[in-house]
């Protein structure tokens, strides 16, 4: 291979590596797009299975996924499969850096498709997912699914979970037991779990009690405004002060002796029952690309909270054992979260 061609190839490798690193840094930042547009892109990707392999990137992969403002970003890398001629003498069939970049793009396309089906209350079959990522990347399916799952977990606090093993199908499952699998209200929509986890995190950081003013001050930095409908979370003030309070995930009370009246938020009993300070801290640390231990004061408090919970469980187990030896009365089924009016 001529020396000039080798130098050009090395320059392309370095450029691709730089683009990959830059994209990794952008993965924790925000770029929200309108949900209907993303759904159309995802739907088109799922319904069309090309008869022959195309060398260009699907249009859906170039669109930003609908997401919470701080969490996801689509790749803005301008590298494209068509930018390299696979038949060029001396050129590898697919460069490793280009391959990884395309896997990241396919993960974003798959993420869109999973969100699209979630919004329609439909399961996503493995067969559908393989069509979406195209046959060329079938061998990379486990990695593509893993990347898409991680981004969805960060953005929406949901898990991609297999729900039907006979015909492999997947659904997005809310990490908290919110009604309608995280939608809060009946009908279509995207999960509100990440919003709740973020608010619980703000309350924790503010000393387990946060003024309404302080919460909105922080949320406004994420472009979430009271009274203004958000494309993912709806009207956030109503979501906080009505739905999440009614469901007992948040407690909303007037500050004592405040004149004019001011209000503050605390964790509600349902939040204490379904999550913990450590889980919330782990979630916040993950989306901010750090570790819980890096926030030492909060980490110590979360550890103490874990210890108290463990001690409380031990006491409950002891009481249950004592009652069983004496003949305990029949237990009633656990109450489900309060349903939300639609």
Judged against a pLDDT cut of 80, whether residue 280 lies above it is answered with yes
* C-alpha span between 335 and 18 (Å, rounded): 53
CATH code of 257's domain: 1.10.10.1210
Residues 79 and 156 in one domain: yes
Residues 196 and 264 in one domain: yes
Q: pLDDT tens digits, residue range 230-241?
A: 999 999 999 999
- Among 144, 174, 204, which residue terminates a domain? 174
Residues 98 and 212 in one domain: no
What residues make up the domain containing 229?
A: 192-287
CATH code of 113's domain: 1.10.10.1200
- Classify residue 304: in a domain, yes or no: no
Encoded tokens for 253: 């009370």
Range in 201-215, 265-279, 305-319 with the lowest mean pLDDT: 305-319
- Classify residue 336: in a domain, yes or no: no
Q: 79 near 45, Cβ under 8 Å?
A: no
- Among 270, 287, 304, which residue terminates a domain? 287
Residues 111 and 10 in one domain: yes
**pLDDT confidence of residue 93:** 52
Q: Which residues neighbour 186 within 8 Å (Cβ) at sequence distance 6 or greater?
A: 179, 180, 340, 342
**Average pLDDT score over the chain:** 76
Judged against a pLDDT cut of 60, whether residue 41 lies above it is answered with no
Q: Which one has a higher pLDDT value, 326 or 175?
A: 175
What does the pLDDT average to over 156-164? 93
Phi, psi of 254 (to 5 degrees): -80, 140
Q: pLDDT tens digits, residue range 68-111?
A: 333 332 223 333 333 334 444 443 456 788 989 999 999 999 99
Ranked by mean pLDDT, which of 67-71, 206-210, 306-310 comes out on top?
206-210
User: What's the total number of domains in the chain?
Assistant: 2
- Select from 156, 203, 146, 154 the least CA-distant residue to 178: 156
What does the pLDDT average to over 276-300? 92
- Classify residue 79: in a domain, yes or no: yes
């Amino acid at each position: 291979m001529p020396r000039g061609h080798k130098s050009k190839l090395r320059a392309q490798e370095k450029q691709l590596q730089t683009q990959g690193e830059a994209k990794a840094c952008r993965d924790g930042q925000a770029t929200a797009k309108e949900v209907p547009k993303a759904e159309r892109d995802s739907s088109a990707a799922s319904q069309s299975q090309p008869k022959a392999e195309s060398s260009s990137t699907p249009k859906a992969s170039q669109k930003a996924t609908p997401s919470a403002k701080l969490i996801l970003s689509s790749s803005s890398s301008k590298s494209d499969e068509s930018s390299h001629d696979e038949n060029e003498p001396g050129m590898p069939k697919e460069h490793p850096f280009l391959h990884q970049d395309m896997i990241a793009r396919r993960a974003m396309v798959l993420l869109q498709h999973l969100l699209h089906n979630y919004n329609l209350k439909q399961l996503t079959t493995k067969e559908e997912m393989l069509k979406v990522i195209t046959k060329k990347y079938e061998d990379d399916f486990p990695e593509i699914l893993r990347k898409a799952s991680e981004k969805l977990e960060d953005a929406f606090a949901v898990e991609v979970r297999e729900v039907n093993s006979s015909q492999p199908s997947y659904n997005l499952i809310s990490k908290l037991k919110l009604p309608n699998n995280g939608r809060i209200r009946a009908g279509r929509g995207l999960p509100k779990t990440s919003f709740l986890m973020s608010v619980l995190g703000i309350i924790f950081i503010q000393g387990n009690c946060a003024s309404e003013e302080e919460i909105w001050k922080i949320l406004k930095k994420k472009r979430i405004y009271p009274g203004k409908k958000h494309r993912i979370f709806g009207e956030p003030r109503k979501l906080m002060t009505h739905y999440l309070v009614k469901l007992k995930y948040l407690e909303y009370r007037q500050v004592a002796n405040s004149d004019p009246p001011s209000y503050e938020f605390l964790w509600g009993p349902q939040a204490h029952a379904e999550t913990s300070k450590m889980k919330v801290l782990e979630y916040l640390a993950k989306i901010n690309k750090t570790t819980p231990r890096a926030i030492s004061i909060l980490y110590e408090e979360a550890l103490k909270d874990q210890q108290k919970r463990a001690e409380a469980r031990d006491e409950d187990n002891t009481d249950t054992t004592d009652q069983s030896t004496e003949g305990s009365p029949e237990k009633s089924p656990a109450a489900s979260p309060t349903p939300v009016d639609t």
